[in-house]
């Protein structure tokens, strides 16, 4: 029963309603450009040194370094969390039920949004029962990245008229998934904010880059980093027992965070009974030294790298020589990236 409902939620086959932004109007990013380097076979290793460097830099956005990088030596805090990660990989159901639970309201609301016969007034009343959800949906409607026209959207009725049911479904789902980022300690809110911003960027880019099934690409991009959120919440719990001043600052922990989080994302997708496509594509992404060469995983991989480049560039943390290598890796010219970068800063 639950699985069939989720199949309806995520296996959307109608045409996507997200309007292509003006900044993408001159170049169709879903098609390769002349400067794209030939793609490697799926089983061939990508440039792992560039990939590792990028992840290490991106990690610095999530956890501002306060102490010297300890390299391959993990401290007590990190060892405790890494042990919990291994337990989570062995029993993902515990993480899905206690640490990172998918909001149950997704089921009821999406079922109503997907039914064109469902009365519009009843639909809006259902969303309005959750004031926080209503506020989050309106904030998304009026955000620079998604706003259409000069008029501000001030009601859910107006949002439904302007966006249509399919786009409203995306916004409602995004707002509900965001509930999983409920992070209390003020110092660590930066992690939640940056991960959510990154997830929204990847979702948006994946839907733009995908040649087919843009809705699934959007949602896979949105959920690809849920494993990082789960690990981060484990880290918060571990801080209660940590020594004063102890921070996650080793290269080893960064590697574990990167590789294991994607595996955990795939396992969570399976436990949440999402369509098997999600687990399959996330599992492809979990092989961090291999670039997926086809399917939605390849689209999300490219979207993920572009988002990381953009966020690091905005923070002035990306060396110029590394930028050129990364742009070649994702098949973008500098002018194309500049257009994307300007758009992504609005998230």
Query: Residue 335 phi/psi, 5° resolution?
Result: -65, -40
pLDDT, residue 137, reads 83
Kindly give the confidence (pLDDT) of every residue in the chain, 347 residues in length, as a single tens digit, with 9 standing for 90 and above. 434 433 433 333 333 333 333 333 333 444 443 333 334 444 444 554 565 568 767 877 776 655 566 666 777 888 888 888 888 888 888 787 777 777 767 667 777 777 888 787 887 887 888 887 888 888 888 888 777 777 888 888 888 787 777 777 778 878 877 777 665 555 566 777 888 889 989 999 998 899 877 878 888 998 898 888 888 878 777 777 777 767 777 777 777 777 788 888 998 888 887 778 888 999 998 887 788 988 999 999 999 999 999 999 999 989 888 899 999 999 999 999 999 999 899 88
Report domain extents, the chain.
19-100+186-344
342 C-beta neighbours (distance < 10 Å), count? 11
pLDDT, residue 71, reads 63
- Number of H helices and E strands in the chain, helices first, is 16, 0
For residue 224 the two structure tokens come to: 């690809």
pLDDT, residue 307, reads 96
pLDDT, residue 298, reads 94
Q: Cβ(310)–Cβ(339) under 8 Å?
A: no
For residue 285 the two structure tokens come to: 């992404």
Q: Cβ(328)–Cβ(33) under 8 Å?
A: no
Rounded to two decimals, what is the model's pTM? 0.74
């Amino acid at each position: 029963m639950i699985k069939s409902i989720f199949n309806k939620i995520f296996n959307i086959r109608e045409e996507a309603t997200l309007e292509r932004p003006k900044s993408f109007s001159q170049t169709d990013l879903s098609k390769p450009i002349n400067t794209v380097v030939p793609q490697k076979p799926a089983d061939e290793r990508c440039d792992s040194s560039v990939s590792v460097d990028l992840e290490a830099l991106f990690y610095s956005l999530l956890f501002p370094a306060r102490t010297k990088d300890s390299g391959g030596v993990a401290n007590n805090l990190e060892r405790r969390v890494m042990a919990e990660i291994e337990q989570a990989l062995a029993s993902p159901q515990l993480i899905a039920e206690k640490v990172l639970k998918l909001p149950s309201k997704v089921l009821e609301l999406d079922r109503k949004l997907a039914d064109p016969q469902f009365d519009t007034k009843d639909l809006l009343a259902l969303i309005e029962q959750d004031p926080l959800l209503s506020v989050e949906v309106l904030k998304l409607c009026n955000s620079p990245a998604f706003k259409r026209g000069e008029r501000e959207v001030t009601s859910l009725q107006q949002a439904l008229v302007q966006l249509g049911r399919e786009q409203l479904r995306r916004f409602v789902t995004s707002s509900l998934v965001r509930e999983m980022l409920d992070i209390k300690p003020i110092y660590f809110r930066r992690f939640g904010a940056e991960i959510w911003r990154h997830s929204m960027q990847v979702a948006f880019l994946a839907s733009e880059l995908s040649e087919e099934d843009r809705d699934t690409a959007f949602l896979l991009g949105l959920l690809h980093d849920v494993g990082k959120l789960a690990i981060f919440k484990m880290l918060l719990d571990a801080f209660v027992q940590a020594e004063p001043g102890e921070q996650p600052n080793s290269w080893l922990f960064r590697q574990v965070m990167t590789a294991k989080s994607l595996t955990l994302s795939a396992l969570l997708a399976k436990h949440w009974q999402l369509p098997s496509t999600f687990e399959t594509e996330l599992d492809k992404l979990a092989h961090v030294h291999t670039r997926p060469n086809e399917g939605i995983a390849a689209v999300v991989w490219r979207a993920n790298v572009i988002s990381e480049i953009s966020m690091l560039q905005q923070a002035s943390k990306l060396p110029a020589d590394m930028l050129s290598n990364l742009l070649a890796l994702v098949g973008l010219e500098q002018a194309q990236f500049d257009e994307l970068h300007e758009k992504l800063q609005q998230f």
